Structure 1
Amino acid sequence: MSSSRIIQAWSRIDTWLAEQATISFSALPQPATHEQIASAEQQIGVAFPSDLYASLRCHNGSGDVEILPGHTLLSAELIATDFLLAVQVSRDPYTDTYVNTQSPEWIPISGDGGGSHYVLGQLGGAQPRVGFRNELGDLDFAEGVMGACMSDLLEKAAGALAAMEVLDDFRPVVVDRELEWEME
Structure 2
Amino acid sequence: MLGLTHAPASARLLAPPANPDEVERAQVEMGVRFPRDLQESLGCHDGLVSWANMLPEQPPIPVAEIVSFWRMSVETAGDDPDLCAPHEEGGEPWWHPQWIPWAQGDGASQVIDMREGPQQGRLGSVASYGTAYFGDGWPSLAAYLSDVADVLDHGGTVGPWAPFLTTDGEL
TM tier, smaller: 0.7 to 0.9
Counterparts of 1:69 and 1:137, CA distance in 2: 21
Say whether 1:108 aligns with 2:101. Answer: yes
| Equivalent position to 2:133, from 133, 140, 145 | 140
Change (3 A) 1:75 1:53: same
Number of aligned positions between the proteins: 157
Say whether 1:172 aligns with 2:159. Answer: no
TM-score normalized by structure 1? 0.75
Sequence identity percentage: 28
TM-score normalized by structure 2? 0.81
Query: Which secondary structure does the structure 2 equivalent of 1:71 belong to?
Result: coil
Change (3 A) 1:164 1:65: farther
After the TM superposition, which residues 32-181 of structure 1 pair with which residues of structure 2 at under 5 Å, given as runs?
32-63=18-49, 64-91=51-78, 96-98=82-84, 99-100=95-96, 104-111=97-104, 113-125=105-117, 127-136=120-129, 138-142=131-135, 144-145=136-137, 147-175=138-166, 176-179=168-171
Counterparts of 2:53 and 2:18, CA distance in 1: 18
| Equivalent position to 1:27, from 13, 20, 37 | 13
**Structure ranking higher in helix proportion:** 1
Deviations 1:66-102 (A, max 9, x none): 3322310121111111111111221396x821255xx
**Structure ranking higher in strand proportion:** 1
Deviations 1:13-72 (A, max 9, x none): 9xx21x211011011000101112112212212221111111100111234233322310
Query: Which secondary structure does the structure 1 equivalent of 2:125 belong to?
Result: strand
Tell me how far 1:121 sits from its aligned partner: 0.6
Residue type of the alignment partner of 2:107? G
Q: CA RMSD in A?
A: 2.2
